[in-house]
Amino acid sequence: MEQEAIDEKLDKGYLHCRIMIEILGAPKQHVEGTLALVLKKLREEKDVDVISDKVHPAEEKDKLFSTFAEVELLFKDFVVLTRICFDYLPSSLEIVKPENFKMSSLELSNFVSDTLAMLHGIDFKLKDVNAANQLLERNSANLLKNFLLIMLSSGRKPIGEVSKLVGIKPEQLEPFMQAFTKEGLIRKSGELWEKCS
Which of these, 180, 171, 175, lies nearest to 151 by C-alpha position?
180
Domains of the chain: 3-98 (3.30.70.1150), 142-195 (1.10.10.10)
**Hey, which residues does 158 pair with through a beta bridge?**
192
Q: Is the pTM of this model over 0.85?
A: no
Q: What is the arithmetic mean of pLDDT over 82-101?
A: 88
Higher pLDDT, 103 or 21: 21
pLDDT at 56 over 90: yes
* Adjacent-strand bridge partners of 64: 61
**Average pLDDT, integer, range 133-159:** 90
Average pLDDT estimate for 156-177: 89
Q: Are 186 and 177 in contact (CB under 8 A)?
A: yes
Structure confidence by residue, pLDDT tens digits, 171-181? 998 898 899 99
Is pLDDT above 90 for 87? no
